[in-house]
Every structure is written in C-alpha cells, then in structure tokens.
C-alpha cells in the first residue's frame, strides 16, 4: 500500500503541477492529460521507490531511481530513439515536432523527484528539535 511520506507527497504534487503546467501551453485538454500522465508516472515511480531503495534513502540513490523508473521517461526516450536523426540535428522541420516534445517531456521528468526531495528536506528541517 502506498504510504504518503513527505517524499511521496512532494513527488506527486510536483508531478501534477509540472504536467499541468506544461500542458497548459498547448490547450486545456493537454493540461489535463499532461497532469494526469505525469501523476500516473509518479505514482508508479513512488511505489517502486518505496520498495527499493526506500523513500528515506540518500538523495544520490533516490533521485535517479525515481526519475528513470517513471514510465513517462522511458516512453519519451523511446520516441526520441525512433527519430534519432532529429535529436542529433541531421533532419529538421515539422517532422521533428514529436521528438521535440519528447525531449521536453524527458527533461520535465527530472523535476518531480526533485520536488519530492525538497519537500522531504523541508519536513525534516521543520521536525528537528530546537
């Protein structure tokens, strides 16, 4: 069962905000789809992170696992690998729009785990004895 720890809460909220914010640049439907898509990926990533390495793991272990095991990230890498010539700049034009969007999505996948780690550190700072 998913336990809502500070890392998980920050991860999920940041994913929803990042996905909705990125989709808002396109259309209202894209805002909903982007937010729900990033949130679903963050749920899967949080479930895996609770199992291994644990949500209280050091940053250098937790952040890469939470990023790479988000299903949205490998999907974006897959779309980039299909048109690799657009990624390296050998081909340009409207045919590379999907690859450009995949590159943006792959970059945005780095933010939700960072939000979770920041929220976890803030909660630890607030809970320390004075």
Sign of the torsion angle spanned by Cα atoms 39, 44, 47, 52: negative
Query: Which pLDDT value is given to residue 60?
Result: 94
The answer to whether residue 112 scores a pLDDT higher than 70 is: yes
Answer yes or no: is pLDDT of 18 > 70: yes
Q: Are 54 and 66 in contact (CB under 8 A)?
A: no
pTM comes to 0.90
pLDDT at 129: 82
The per-residue pLDDT for 128 is 83
Residue-level length of the chain:
130
Rounded CA Rg of the chain: 16
pLDDT at 3 over 80: no
Q: What is the model's pLDDT at position 1?
A: 56
Q: Place 127 in a pLDDT band, splitting at 50, 70 and 90.
A: confident
- pLDDT grade for 130, boundaries at 50, 70 and 90: confident
**Cβ contact 105:1 at 8 Å:** no
List helix spans (H) across the chain.
6-23, 28-51, 59-68, 72-82, 84-88, 97-108, 111-127
Ramachandran region of residue 54, left (φ > 0), alpha (ψ -120 to 50) or beta? left
Model confidence over 45-87: pLDDT tens digits?
999 999 889 999 999 999 999 999 999 999 999 999 999 999 9
């Amino acid at each position: 069962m998913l336990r809502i720890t500070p890392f998980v809460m920050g991860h999920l909220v940041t994913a929803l905000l990042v996905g909705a914010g990125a989709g808002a640049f396109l259309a209202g439907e894209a805002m909903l789809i982007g937010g729900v898509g990033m949130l679903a990926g963050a749920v899967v990533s949080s479930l895996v992170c609770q199992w291994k390495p644990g949500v209280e793991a050091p940053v250098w272990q937790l952040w890469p696992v939470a990023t790479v095991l988000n299903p949205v990230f490998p999907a974006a890498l897959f779309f980039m690998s299909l048109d690799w010539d657009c990624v390296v700049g050998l081909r340009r034009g409207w045919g590379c729009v999907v690859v450009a969007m995949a590159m943006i999505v792959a970059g945005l996948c780095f933010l939700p785990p960072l939000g979770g780690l920041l929220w976890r550190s803030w909660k630890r700072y607030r809970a320390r004895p004075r």
